[in-house]
Structure 1
Amino acid sequence: MPELPEVEVTRLGLLDALSGATIHGLVMGKALRWPLGCDPLQFVGWRILTVQRRGKYLWMPMRALVERAQGDGGLLWHLGMSGSLRWGTALGELGRHDHVQMQTDRGELRLTDPRRFGAVVWSPSLEAAPATTLLNHLGVEPLSTDFKPEVLFKGLAGRRISIKQALLAGHVVVGVGNIYCSEALFLARIAPQRPASSLTHAECARLVEAIQATLTAALAAGGSTLRDFQSAHGVNGNYQGLAHVYGRAGQACRVCTEVIEKEVQGQRATYFCRRCQSA
């Protein structure tokens, strides 16, 4: 599943191409999990202002070049479990797993998603529904200055679920998906099975640092490509080859040589080193 680094890599790959572009059309293929919420013809002649990110969502605010009754707004894009966005100048007709194609004066943007869990949703603003319905439950951005040890410590207070599951839920900090959660807990030397509320302030400080270091490294590597993900320009991510524990069950820990273990938490695979993560 594309996680925060993959979504941010996608955003960065689209930012220059789409900022200021004028939409010529929006072609819809097979239905996704949520409806677009408007007539796709309304976007003809609209200008894309920029490409932003909130958690694993991309927000594309737009402005009509002529006055229209519905005013300005934007599109929320989500890559789901297996989606990717591709940018090009001649992408051709939609294929079997292509669901949305935006045509602009600079090129075309296509959403491909074999499992159809992705989404493209119209919202009049980020402060109005349906954007608020989708985004208001999300926690703090992990790479922002707002993500501090005291924020994590306070957010975990009273939570009886494991620290791994608390991070994945996204209510305290957003976008720390399964791959990077396992990696960050390893760097912080915290067992993924620990009750979330049991972490001390000092451990939260280590974990904040580890989460930010892990996500920064993943961004530098172009994200992770385990199966479907590619950047907007068709490039695979390379972080999976740098992982300390994720996907390495049965192999030796690169720090202590203990065998990396795997278990299931909340229907998600967890990888850890029992010796390094004894806390």
Structure 2
Amino acid sequence: MTNNNPIGFFDSGIGGTSIWRAIYELLPNENTIYLADSKNAPYGQKSKEEIIALSYKNTEFLLKENCKIIVVACNTATTNAIQELRRKYSIPFIGIEPAIKPAATNSQTQKIGILATQGTLNSELFHQAQERFQSTKIIEQIGHGLVQLIEDGKINSQEMKKLLNSYLQPMIEENIDFLVLGCSHYPYLIPQIKKILPKHIKIIDSGEAVARQTKNVLMDIGFNDETQKSSQIFYSNRNPVVLNDILESKFQVVYKDF
């Protein structure tokens, strides 16, 4: 089945491009439209009502662009708003949740760490996941300040290094053997995180699983015609330069106040 309409993505900024990359690598022939709502980042410090309202706004934008499926490329928006989105709209939504299951299932120490936003850790979906794995101790850490530093283009700054050290050292002392990244911004910190964590601690993010799920859903909706060159468009409502840098200037980035 052929369906040339684009896959839509939205996030509270540039972080969801880590999810976009995983899907683009698996499905390079698909047209995509990515929405970076950077002027409202981070979502993790907002109320559930605010997160739902922003998710509605982003969805309406992508629907006007005739998207055939929407990837909520933000853990906070997924855990707080995706049920409301699915109730209100008929378009399929792909969400992102912290990958607690593979970490808890494979942990030898029965202790895993999760680095996430306050909005994700406070959400009902996260608490439900916790309850499913009560035999595993989950050490939670809110990543205060991390998203804003990434949005400001300060991934390799001393300030970032200090914050990551303060968040990860207590987990190391607790003897975790898996670290779950519970925010789509955080995969961009993996090189920094690896410098801090002992080599035996495995890092898990949701990108590949989300890509596989997207492909599964498209089997029912239709894939882009492979004879047509695919189009990748990125919109930012704050600072397109940072988004352009993350994408290494390979794709079209447009400033748009939405």
TM superposition score normalised by structure 1: 0.26
Higher helix share: 2
Structure with the larger RCO, 1 or 2 (CA within 8 Å, 6+ apart): 2
Greater Rg over alpha carbons, structure: 1
